[in-house]
Amino acid sequence: MDPIEQEKILLTHEEKKVLAYNMNIIQALWKSIKGDLGRNMVRGNEYNVDSLYGSLEKSRQTIRDIIYMERDFEKYKINEWAYRIEKKTGIPQEYLTGAERIKLGSSFEEEFFPMYEDYIANCDYINEQLAKAKENPLDWSMPKMKKFIKKNRDTNKRLDELIKKAERTVKLMTEFDRKLDEEINRVKEIASVRGLRENPKRYKLIYFIKYGKKQNAIGIEKVQDITRVMEDIRTAQLKELGEAGLSQYIEALKKHLKLAESVYTVAVDCGDFKI
């Protein structure tokens, strides 16, 4: 495709809507996990993992524009940005292009996400009605004047309805935001292994925010993760393995212990752990 023609292609309304939702979730997760959004600076701050703006390479205003859908974005630029950010942070580019929505827990998705969809639908309807309400100049035309008077009476009634709809929409979004805060607090505390199993892409996002680095392909990232899994295994679960299964489990642990001890001994001898 011709580069000039490519520049003319904007994100679709649906892509903008998904990206807006995703950015809202990313910002909420970041603030909940780190306490704040960090320094509002992009240039020279790209590798500051404590800054949402530096990590995503977008200013506070741009992120606000994305969340409230107040700007159009060229599709090819968004794709290039999403690829670059995924390569740096591990955050899936599908989340950053609006191709895939970040999904939270199943209960939240079923009960509360429809509130957000209703909010967007209400905003779209109000915007359409306000656009229709724009008047053309009357000039000095008597027919236009008479049409304006008649239409204005109807417009006042429509505006009253729109105001009531807007008030209901604000209440709807206030309730959604409250439920979202609860869900963010739940999702961010999911144990690493469980989180990886439940939603691998979302886990990559949370992992970067928590640890400031990409989640690698192995899945279990830290000794704490391994320890947490082992702590969850109790006597009852081990008994359920039976004699043969428990014997295999013990042998596997012995092999891993020997491997860990060997690696540790060699690393110490080679001075790998020296600062």
Per-residue pLDDT tens digits for 235-248: 877 888 888 888 88
How far apart (Å, rounded) are the C-alpha atoms in residues 156 and 158?
5
Residue 235's pLDDT is what? Answer: 84
Query: What average pLDDT does range 226-255 have in this prediction?
Result: 81
Residue 137's pLDDT is what? Answer: 61
Residue 140's pLDDT is what? Answer: 66
Mean model confidence pLDDT for the chain: 84
Residue 172's pLDDT is what? Answer: 86
Q: pTM for this one?
A: 0.72
Query: What average pLDDT does range 19-25 have in this prediction?
Result: 96
Q: Is the pLDDT of residue 20 over 50?
A: yes
Query: What average pLDDT does range 3-25 have in this prediction?
Result: 86
Query: What average pLDDT does range 209-231 have in this prediction?
Result: 70
Query: What average pLDDT does range 158-171 have in this prediction?
Result: 82
Q: Cα 167–171–175 angle (5° rounding)?
A: 165
Least reliable range by pLDDT among 50-59, 177-186, 187-196: 187-196
Query: What average pLDDT does range 246-265 have in this prediction?
Result: 83
